[in-house]
Structure 1
Amino acid sequence: MKTWLFGLLWLGCWVPLQAVEQVLLFNYQQKPPYIVDEAHRQGLYFDLAERLNASLPAYHFVVREIPRKRLDYLLSRDQMHGLVVGVSPDWFADAARHRWTQAFIDDANLLVSRSAGEVSRLSASSLDGHRLGLVSGHRYPELKAVLRHGLVRREDAASEAANLERLMRGWIDATVVGVRTMEFHVQHQPELRQQLFIAEPPLYRYRRHLLVPDGYAGLLPELNRVIAQLEQDPVWQTRLAHYRE
């Protein structure tokens, strides 16, 4: 009798766990505040996964890193087993092939140079003849015309943080940094306010979405429902404020 009851209890616990479907949120931009500490699951992408998990208990959303080249390869062959988090359709030549959620956050790209020195305080119109640090594999629609002319030398690095370091060492003359990422770095390194010059207006304003491959089309309405509620979600708003304090 006890064995029979134990079996029923075990089955009752096992069935709901098996019913939860894991959904990977692939990310190719390893930068704060979106990814702050991957080992400790800190950053806005992890916070977004947590809000999705809280609102959609039939799924378990997990953030995973993926190189941009690998991402493009899988998308081109319809082999993407998961969603892509924090992206804009402008960054994908085949954007029309995919589904996109509502935007969950606004962002912008800033042109950053040194505030003093022989080469400093650059603008988009004064980049000719200079070294521009960008992130390898990333598309910059706002710089397409500038780079096409060949008068600006593109020098790639692995991240925006690496480019900021190269800028301060004088190895490049300017770089492009997301406004939320710049805010995060300045928050933790206040001296950057005096050392760096940020050209106005921003190079490019955009919104971040989730890219939804065809195999996950059924999730789109539920994803949009949760994203639409984020503006009034106190937990999400607290996390946004945390990274800007």
Structure 2
Amino acid sequence: MRLRIFLLSMLVAVPALRLAQAAETVQLATYYDYVPWFVPGQPSAGLNARLARRLSEMSGGRYRFESVYIPRRRLDVLLQEGKLTMVVAWVHPRFFGDPERTRYFWTGPLMDDESLVVSPRAAPLEYDGPDSLRGKRFGAPGGHRFPDLEPLIAAGDITRIDVPQIKNALQMIGAHRRLDFTVVDRSTLDALEHEHLIDPALLHVASRPRTASYERSMLVPLGHPALYRFLQEAVVLLKSDSRWRAPPPRAPGKQAGKRAGE
């Protein structure tokens, strides 16, 4: 009797093992190495990791999504060489020169966002198109592109200063040091403020956004139509379930980070 039960348990376990082994690993990449998207040194933290876990659950064992960070410069090289095999999350076709959505597959939106111009509270700037930023010093993470500002940067009308992360630019602006403005998405600004990594009292957000509201989607290489179909269906379902986007509650008394300047 015991032998029979053992053999039955093995018959149940083997298909489950095969299913687990058959799961295809998919790298879910982001080139944002800061909150809310990604937390360096904490692979399970951040919005990208939460999305990877939720997609893995939704696939029913077909895919295992792995959250990874890839520098924007490295991503551009892979795209130019046609060697990209990963899914890139939280992006928009205009970020990659694909307004017609023909170079890559694009899912429906994961969320809406907008781009803001931020300057020191002590020397506030109001944005009225790229020309209103002439003669200013612009802080931005290395490798990130700003097509509307590139002509002025190339002409020397805007001085671009690369920084490691957007929080560094915001901290420098808060201290009114070296930079006149930066460009940051509202989602990131809200997250950095929530994590106490910047002091909003030291910053001025221009009343006019740099861009109108735009959608953040997922880029899928054209060579993966089945994966694209799954993600397209998953995004529709994710719209009605926003719980996966919520960060876990903080431990009582634990500080998430230091304020700018500390």
TM-score by length of 2: 0.81
1:179 aligns with 2:186: yes
The structure, 1 or 2, with the larger RCO (C-alpha pairs under 8 Å, 6+ apart) is: 1
Amino acid corresponding to residue 66 of structure 1 in structure 2: I
State how far apart, in whole Å, the 2-side matches of 1:93 and 1:141 are: 10
Structure 2 partner of 1:17: 20
Q: Who is 2:218 aligned against?
A: 210
Counterpart in the other structure of 1:128: 134
Which digits, 9 at most, give the CA deviation of each residue in 1:179-223, with x for residues without a partner? 111111222339723211000111013221111102212122221
CA distance in 1, matches of 2:235, 2:70: 23
Report how far residue 37 of structure 1 moved. 5.3
The alpha-carbon deviation at position 51 of structure 1 amounts to 1.6
Separation in structure 1 between the aligned mates of residue 197 and residue 148 of structure 2, nearest angstrom: 28
Between the aligned partners of 2:191 and 2:120, the Cα distance in structure 1 is 18
Q: Which amino acid aligns with 2:185?
A: G
Superposition deviation, residue 230 in structure 1: 1.8
**Matches of 2:15 and 2:248, distance apart in 1:** 41
Cα shift readout 1:13-53 (whole Å, capped 9, x = no counterpart): 42111111111112111121111455251111111112211
Give, in whole Å, the separation in 2 of the partners of 1:209 and 1:191: 27
Structure 1 partner of 2:256: none
User: Partner letter of residue 244 of structure 2?
Assistant: W
3-state secondary structure, aligned to 1:172:
coil
Are 2:120 and 2:174, in contact at CA under 8 Å, matched by a contact in 1? yes
Match of 1:71 in 2: 75
For the residue of structure 2 that corresponds to 1:90, the secondary structure is helix
Task: Name the residue aligned to 2:259.
Answer: none
User: How has the CA–CA distance of structure 1 residues 160 and 234 changed in structure 2, closer, same or farther, with 3 Å as cutoff?
Assistant: closer
**CA deviation profile, 1:110-142 (whole Å, cap 9, x unmatched):** 1111111xxx10133542222110121111134
CA contact (8 A) 1:36 1:43 kept: yes
Counterparts in 2 of 1:67 and 1:12: CA distance versus 1, 3 Å: same
After TM superposition, the score normalised by the length of structure 1 is 0.86
Q: CA deviation at 1:147?
A: 3.1
The amino acid that maps onto 1:103 is P
Note if contact 1:142-1:203 (Cα within 8 Å) is conserved in structure 2: no
Choose which of 93, 96, 100 in structure 1 pairs with 2:102.
Answer: 96
User: Which residue type is aligned with residue 220 of structure 2?
Assistant: V
Where has structure 1 moved over 4 Å in runs of 4 or more?
1-4, 6-10, 240-243
CA contact (8 A) 1:82 1:216 kept: no
Residue identity opposite 2:208 in structure 1 = P
**Partner amino acid for 1:199?**
A
Q: Structure 2: where are the runs of 5+ without partners?
A: 251-262
Report the AA paired with residue 180 of structure 2.
Answer: D
